[in-house]
Chains A and B, each alone.
Chain A
């Protein structure tokens, strides 16, 4: 029988290899050896050492790339610094031209880049050709637009400066684009370190940048080992570090950069839920899973790796999944009809194997399709693990392989609970034909990206990034641009006071007599005892902690003396300790429904707060005057009232956006509250500074645990009376007086807080950053600057609101 007749009967798929000729000849033209791209030129690594990069599907070495060293890192950063002034001096339009040229170059060389990506990474050519590379071009186009519109759309902002970027191996060129495009569009210069498993396309892009005449030093591409990479992120001359990779490494980067005021964005791991309701289009949901967990061999930070299916349809869905898995084709990634290619390295393959074995050991039922996988190369079959439970390792930890774990739920509430039962919060996919059900869960799920009836959709206009330990910062869209910009005024501010200055200020912490707290008067209304009037001693004024809407004595049972500007005793403040913080965080978490109250309601309460402050302005100012003088006290109170009005106004106006990415869908970019926020207030304006931080947080629906400055902690006595009388729900604002430096530790380490804001000394900011890595809470500080709290242009508005919110992008396709 002729071969064609045989094939006519068998109807198998034959081979359909993509011809790698062009990519191979490109490698050959470079003699299969690549240097470092620094200052617009290729140079040898200072040690002369190179390291191979392999094709994971065959194990063959594709090329050798330079092993950069710390010296090379220094050279690259210096080149970027040198290039910065000229690059920033260009108009937005001029930078737009370069980005446009890069977009065009990507399109012109799309196939070579796609083939190179597949050879180096192991992902199927279909994906690199149809998804990765087109998204790369789209990203450069979109950001050419931001460069063009920068001055109009981001007035008052400027580029961070020199940016260090470290990217992973799962989407080598796409991550390069996500990092480089916004950085350059905003006017930064870049040193980027590609993953050493997959450096080739970044190097190819460096060459394209050279070809379009991108000014030398604007983009530096540096292959190097981990040691030099660490030197890069720690480099003192960087203004910003951006990292995509594992949560583990993200923590290290947060820690090693803690002492500096480098801006930091982290896009980390995930264990994203894929929720299927009983009214979903199950066949489409199965295809969604294929795009979720069997996309790029599951090596996707936002992979829908945790299937949650409504009990009633679980067995039906599992059967459909298994049937579909049988038709997934695993094989050489350059074959055009392959669904699952190779895993990036033998190390990664071993990790996947071990995790699946561990899952089975913990009781999971493992199912894999019958088709054989190639014996040579790093291949792992698509895998379904059922009979797993939330406590199982494979449910909690990221596998980064083609492994799906599946569990059931009974009700939408349970779906939300299970979906959020993770330390991560990158993405979620929700399948239901009932838009009420789908959007209800979309709102509840803690994730930066939510896909309704779709999955793994990306677009340059739609922000991408995580909640919780999936990192912070967004890539794409307006919010992504903001990661590479800072307010211009920030750079003009003087340095913040050092710790030495702070301890020298009045109101130092002298622990007073821990004796009986005489007054049970909860109103706290009184004058200050140390200033007796002619008619006799006034009634003692008692200030307590304010936790969960109630005044509470400090757990320590101690108070400390607070002195005025002339050294006179103003009164005694409760000395908070870690248990007070614990209780306050508990109260703040219990008040989380504040985020669900309507923006109008929050605005009303803030207006009312301002009204009540206005009623008591004189008495508040009078007491404050003893610390800051009459003139400042009057200004602080007046501005506090105004600022409260301002955030009442913002409460229902700091709104999200609706994006129109390609395809028939809308993407709703919602500004959501971050959660519970710890606040360490500045001392220079004891009332205004404290309120300038509390107000934007609560206006956006966050709850706070705020520690007033040691200079005048008694202010909380005034504040809680206002809060109580203004209908601020208990637990929304919690006030704990004490030694800020001590309380900062408990706050920064508390896993119940989603963010910590520290507007104090550089030392305290560094401490807070380093201590925040437990749950990778978002950190907002004064960047070592002394804010002018009396200047609304600096001390209120969008800059604060941006930090008080995180953007959730909900993708909603439509059409019948």
Chain B
């Protein structure tokens, strides 16, 4: 199986990126901007109760056990944007995170699982713009990209010029991925052109080789239809990824919200032939949750969306739980959090 890399997307050879990007047998290309099509926005349908029901049974219809479960948890690590986005972040804290990103699992665990050859790392490290340089330096030689939560994160209400300028600075500082946040009011007010222009401006600021994730702030958008509409506009404006939340909203990534976004990007891929990635972020803390999301991506979109090029978790605490589960897999004993190096 030959792998055709998508330009501008880190396909992470470490994670076994030998999978062509396809959807229902059709080969897809990386996303690029297309004209705003308001019909597609208008045609959005999302029946909340039905979506919730499907999301609830997604979790009960699928499960993975034993070695498969271990493999899937490793996949979750590979697709993880190990994140710190707190007001009290410091350079040392970021360095510590980067050290964990390079070696997400203890050596003895790696050996016990027999996965040395995977050279497993996380998908990326995600920090505020202020710590991009720190992270880039700390990750040097690892191949792990640095993602910057930029453009006025998390509110996104700074003047547009400042937000665009921040993206430029983040890119200059060495970030290869930029997580931007949209103006939620554009969604409430149905200002689709303004939203499109905003996301397009951010993508232009990123340039073609920087992987841009558009955070919709789904906890603020409140309704699933709003989420779907915002997803469509962001994709048409050229976002490489759509991402649920800042992690700062009251409710962050949920399975129903994710399902609606995933369905939108599936329809988008079917209509355009372009692949958009998905990143749930915020509130995903357990190993079990990571499996739920992986199964959703697999069933809704297929194998291609289990690669870090098209799927990321935004998480900070989840890694510790995954480590505990993997240790249990190796030893048969339940582990305690303090036994694993913290991020």
CB of B6 within 8 Å of the partner chain = no
Also in contact, A813 and B61, with CB within 8 A (given A5-B118, A284-B54)? no
Question: Chain B at the A interface: mostly helix, strand, loop or mixed?
Answer: helix
Contact of A2 with B113 at beta-carbon distance under 8 Å, contacts A11-B72, A281-B46 already known: yes
Contacts A281-B46, A282-B45, A813-B50 known; A8 to B61 CB distance under 8 Å? Answer: no
CA distance A5 to B113 in the complex (A): 9
B50 and A281 form a contact (CB under 8 A): yes
**Contact assessment for A4 and B70 in the assembled complex, using a CB-CB cutoff below 8 Å:** yes
Decide if B50 touches A284 in the complex (CB within 8 Å).
yes
B59 to chain A, nearest CB (A): 10
Asked whether any CB of chain A lies closer than 8 Å to the CB of B66, the reply is yes
In the complex, chain A residues whose CB is within 8 Å of the CB of B47: 280-281, 284, 433, 453, 813
Let me know if B224 and A816 touch, CB within 8 A. Answer: yes
Interface 1/0 per residue, A357-395 and B, CB below 8 Å:
000000000000000000000000000000000000000
Known: A2-B115, A11-B75, A13-B68. A814 touches B49 (CB 8 A): yes
**Judging by beta carbons under 8 Å apart, are B263 and A283 in contact?**
yes
User: Do the beta carbons of A4 and B71 come within 8 Å of each other?
Assistant: yes
The residue that B45 contacts in the complex, of A3, A281, A663, A814, with Cβ under 8 A, is A281
User: Which residue of B18, B46, B64, B115 is within 8 Å of A5 (Cβ)?
Assistant: B115
Taking the closest CB of chain A, its distance from the CB of B282, in whole angstroms, is 22
Contacts of A520 in B (CB 8 A): none
Assess whether B75 is in contact with A433, with CB atoms less than 8 Å apart. Answer: no
Which A residues are CB-close (under 8 A) to B306?
11
Given A281-B47, A287-B50, A8:B225 Cβ within 8 A = no
The CA-CA distance from A337 to B59 in the complex, in Å, is 10
A4-B70, A5-B115, A284-B54 are contacts. A279–B45 as well, Cβ < 8 Å?
yes
In the complex, are the beta carbons of B49 and A813 less than 8 A apart? Answer: yes
Asked if B93 is at the interface of the complex by the 8 Å CB criterion, the answer is no
B328 within 8 A of A: no
Cβ contacts B7-42/A at 8 Å (1 or 0 each): 000000000101000001000000000000000000
Give Cα distance in the complex from A281 to B45, angstroms: 5
A9 to B299, CA, bound (A): 16
The contact string, 1 if C-beta is below 8 Å from chain A, for chain B 63-101, is 111111111101100100000000000000000000000
Contacts of B331 in A (CB 8 A): none
B303 in contact (CB, < 8 A)? yes
Q: Is the interface on chain B under 10, 10 to 19, 20 to 34, or 35 or more residues? A: 35 or more
For B68, give its contact among A14, A454, A665, A816 (CB under 8 Å).
Answer: A14
Neighbouring A residues of B57 by C-beta, 8 Å: 130, 291
Say yes or no for A12: interface residue by CB 8 A criterion: yes
In the bound complex, do residue A664 and residue B49 qualify as a contact, i.e. CB atoms below 8 Å apart?
A: yes
Contact A337 B118 (CB under 8 A): no
Of the candidates B45, B46, B49, the one having the most CB atoms from chain A within 10 angstroms of its own CB is: B49
Within 8 Å of chain B (Cβ to Cβ): is A15? yes
* CB of B250 closer than 8 Å to a CB of A: no
Inter-subunit contact B49/A453 (CB<8 Å): yes
> Which among A16, A283, A327, A814 has the highest number of chain B CB atoms within 10 Å?
A283
- Contact at B117–A5, with CB atoms within 8 Å? yes
CA distance A453 to B298 in the complex (A): 25
A454 with B53, Cβ < 8 A, contacts A4-B70, A8-B71, A816-B225 known: yes
Beta-carbon nearest neighbor of A2 in chain B = B114
In the bound complex, CA of A281 to CA of B48 (Å) = 10
Offer 16 A-B interface pairs, CB within 8 angstroms, sorted by A: A4-B67, A4-B71, A7-B67, A8-B118, A11-B303, A13-B64, A14-B64, A14-B66, A16-B64, A282-B45, A284-B46, A453-B49, A454-B49, A664-B52, A665-B49, A813-B47
19 additional A-B residue pairs with CB within 8 Å, beyond A5-B117, A7-B71, A11-B71: A2-B113, A2-B117, A8-B115, A9-B16, A9-B18, A11-B303, A13-B62, A14-B64, A130-B60, A280-B47, A287-B53, A337-B62, A433-B45, A453-B47, A453-B49, A454-B49, A454-B53, A814-B49, A816-B225
Residues of A participating in the B interface, judged by any CB pair closer than 8 Å: 1-9, 11-16, 126, 130, 279-285, 287-288, 291, 323, 326-327, 336-337, 339, 433, 453-454, 663-665, 813-816
